[in-house]
Amino acid sequence: LLHQTIKELELNSESFESESPRQFLSKLYRLESTITAFFDGVMVMDPDPVMRSNRLAICNLLAQWSSERLDLKEIIFPGD
């Protein structure tokens, strides 16, 4: 499900440039439950090398998608 969700976001990435921050954050918020379910329910470092490779590829897709769109170093928390 996470792989499918990331691929759908990539297909819609042309609209990313024209999205408002609110629209982008709304997409990110919807993705959060899928990401959480993946990491709560899946052992990424599976003993089966094929499964492990597939799961690491999904993690890499997520990392790539995030790094292209998010600069988490710029997040400022109230009180900091």
Question: DSSP per residue over 22-72, as a string?
Answer: HHHHHHHHHHHHHHHHHHHH--TT-SSHHHHHHHHHHHHHHHHHHHHH--G
What tens digit of pLDDT does each residue of 34-78 get? 889 888 999 999 999 999 999 999 888 888 877 777 777 777 777
pLDDT for res 80: 59
What tens digit of pLDDT does each residue of 1-35 get? 777 777 776 655 556 667 777 877 787 787 888 88
pLDDT for res 23: 76
pTM: 0.65
pLDDT for res 11: 52
